[in-house]
Structure 1
Amino acid sequence: MGGLLSVVQQSFPPHPTWAVDDIPDLTGKVAIVTGSNVGVGKQTVKELLKHNAKVYLAARNATKANTAIAELKDETGKEAIFLQLDLADIHAVRKSAEEFLSKERQLHILINNAGVMIPPVEEITVQKYDMQFGTNVMGHWLFTKLLLPALLAVTDASPTREKARVVTVSSSANYFTNEIDFEAITDGPKRRKYDSWNLYYKSKLGDVVVARELARRHGDKIVSTSVNPGNLDTDLQRHMPRWQYAIVRHLLYPASYGALTQLYCATSPAAEDANGKFFIPWARLGKANPAGEDAKLGEKLWRWLEEETEKH
């Protein structure tokens, strides 16, 4: 009941009190936003560019990414840098991280924004994991882990002991499950017993768990937060049946609203002490599913991710 109440309350948030104009000057800061050629990610890149950050637009499709980069340059006068990233392929994630580390020594802001929602159950990652957990959780976890040298270097190079920011995008879906079924992440009969929505719920809980565990492990040099960006009218609904979309579209907000919460966590001085916290629309401190705060689950998931990714 508490989870449902949280979902309802977060679906009708009050007017935001924090705005993109409140973002401080980001000159000298390096940022990566995943899945940022469209929707909330693109809006996020736009605001980071406008405030003088050096931004890597990480996306799978080079053509779409370069189109977005050109459009953003027209709008901001600043040019993002394309970083090829396919979160559904462990080898591609490794290659992407290597490419970034060959160019940059520090990474001040990492926004794990990309995600997939309710694709057909038959869709799996290159290494045969569930597409939603593999993309939303595994791909982002590995990308973040591989980028740790650049993230941790921010504090080491800062006279004020500044911390890097890592923002992981979850959703209100994290409230709809209290478990991660480890036997249903790799494709097989157990996984196929779930429908796409249940698999989505588990991936979004996984995002919260990973963000909390990152905060526990590296909170001395990283501010790790997770967010519910809100109910947004974006490409994320592309797999939703038309009749469902016809119902929910009246409850959806523009993508620009969704960028607010992750931009707040990534840039606001007020979020410097928010390590391990969960934020809700629009840029407000909230509470995630209590299961996401389970330290034993966090340790188990982290260890499972290490073991599974090391296989490939």
Structure 2
Amino acid sequence: MYNVPDQTGRHLVVTGANSGTGKEATARLAAAGARVTMAVRSLEKGEAARAELLARVPGADLRLRRIDLADFASVRAFAEGILADGEQIDTLVNNAGVMIPPKRIETVDGYELQFQSNFLGPFLLTNLLLPRLLEAPKPRVATMSSGTADFGSIHFRDLQFERRYSAPRAYAQSKLADLLMSLRLAELSETRGWGLLSTAAHPGYTRTNLQTAGRNLARGDAKQLQPSSRTLLPSQGVEQGAEPLLFAAADPGAVQGGYYGPSRMALVGPTHRAQIPRSARGRDLPASLWAVAAELTGVDAQTTLGSATASK
């Protein structure tokens, strides 16, 4: 099992910290001495997860805050609240997401659910917290992508899949967008001298509630799918599956723009540095997507990032 380096004195914000890889990452970061803000959509489920984690890691410093990445107002309220506390933020872990709902669902902001929950929401959150992150001695943003990003593409003419919806294709687009966001953030940090480390990870085929939670949206109680440990492809438990994200978020060996995942068939096994897929190698693709996301979220990237630089 991967040993998380000492995180004493560091404050990390982890989205989706109440289940799956987010919950496992939170437990091991806290065990390494970190103070962790658990950013969760359901406070009830968050409280239950926090109680479990405190039983696992007695004395862990865990704070709970609500955020719904599918609601820009909620993301802004979360950011305003945590910034108002005045605490240093050392690392943001963009982990939360939704996977393959059975039909196209629009958010309150009018965007396709997977694109907003998995990408636009984290993009907005990252930009809003960036000024505070840049005040930290060694700031870092780690973003969870997916192996499905290899098969994704950015449909600039129909980002919301309004013409012909495909849940798997929309999911692949959203996770490719996460990877492109991390690459663009790394590029901006390097060119502007921020000293912020931007990394990405994918969990391979890790058995979590992600595989069923999205598919259960819009299903009645009697039709709810249950998580299963039986898979056709090689798969692994959350303990191993969270390790690429932990490496990306906490390891001193992680590099700028690095992408980390399982080493065996990109599905299971110890963490290694993964190759950036062909789908993400377009020269202008990260910058183009970043500009579109800034327009869609109402975040003026140049203004926000310029003020972040001035505050450092």
Match of 1:56 in 2: 37
In structure 1, the gaps of 5 or more residues are 1-18, 156-162
Deviation at 1:258, TM superposition (A): 1.4
TM-score normalised by L of structure 2: 0.84
Q: Secondary structure at the match of 1:82?
A: strand
Aligned with 1:228 (options 202, 217, 237): 202
Q: Deviations over 1:221-274 (max 9, x none)?
A: 211111111211111111459699787366321111111111111111111xx1
Whether the aligned pair in 2 keeps the contact of 1:20 and 1:47 (CA below 8 Å) is: no
Distance 1:106 1:127, change over 3 A: same
| Residue 29 (1) aligns with residue 10 (2) | yes
| Aligned-partner Cα distance in 1 for 2:11–2:231 | 36
Between the aligned partners of 1:71 and 1:196, the Cα distance in structure 2 is 33
Whether 2:249 is the aligned partner of 1:252: answer no
Structure 1 position 289, deviation (Å): 1.4
User: Please, what TM-score do these two structures have when normalized by structure 1?
Assistant: 0.84
1:44 maps to 2:30: no
Partner residue of 1:6? none
CA contact (8 A) 1:114 1:136 kept: yes
Superposed CA deviations along residues 80-127 of structure 1, whole A, max 9, x for unmatched, are: 100111000011111111111112442111111111110133212211
Q: Flag the 1:54–1:245 CA change in 2: closer, same or farther, 3 A.
A: closer
Moved more, 238-247 or 286-295: 238-247
1:176 aligned residue: 151
Q: How big is the shift at 1:202?
A: 0.7
**CA positional deviation for 1:298:** 1.1
Structure with greater proportional helix content: 1
Cα deviations by residue, 1:146-172 (Å, 9 ceiling, x for unpaired): 0001111113xxxxxxx2121111111
Q: 1:75 is matched with which residue?
A: 56
Q: 1:86 to 1:304 in 2, by over 3 A?
A: same
**Aligned: 1:167 with 2:142:** yes
Could you tell me which amino acid in structure 2 is paired with residue 196 of structure 1? A
Would you say the 8 A contact 1:31–1:56 is kept in 2? yes
Question: Does 2:211 match 1:237?
Answer: yes
Distance 1:243 1:29 in 2: 36
Q: Distance in 2 between matches of 1:204 and 1:115?
A: 9
Q: Given residue 213 of structure 1, which amino acid in structure 2 is its aligned partner?
A: R
Pair 1:247–1:29, CA change in 2 (3 A): closer
Q: Provide the C-alpha distance between the structure 2 equivalents of 1:293 and 1:166, rounded to a whole number of angstroms.
A: 20
CA distance in 2, matches of 1:174, 1:250: 18
What code does the residue aligned with 2:188 have? R
> Number of residues paired by the alignment?
280
Partner Cα distance (1:198, 1:86) in 2: 23
C-alpha separation between the residues in 1 aligned to 2:291 and 2:233? 41
Query: Residue 128 of structure 2: which of 137, 140, 146 is its match?
Result: 146
Amino acid across the alignment from 2:13: I
Q: Which whole-Å CA distance do the structure 2 matches of 1:24 and 1:246 have between them?
A: 30
Say if 1:105 and 1:153, in contact at 8 Å, map to a contact too.
no
Looking at structure 1, the residues matched to 79 and 245 of structure 2 have their Cα atoms a distance apart, in angstroms, of 21
Match of 1:288 among 266, 269, 276: 276
Equivalence map 1:263-282=2 (5 Å): 263-271=246-254, 274-281=255-262, 282=270
Share of identical aligned residues, percent?
33
Do the aligned partners of residues 243 and 195 (structure 1) sit closer, same or farther apart at CA in structure 2, a change above 3 Å counting?
Answer: farther
Which of the numbers 105, 120, 131 marks the counterpart of 2:102? Answer: 120
Match of 1:303 in 2: 291
User: 1:261 is matched with which residue?
Assistant: 244
Asked if structure 2 preserves the Cα contact closer than 8 Å seen for 1:33 and 1:113, the reply is yes
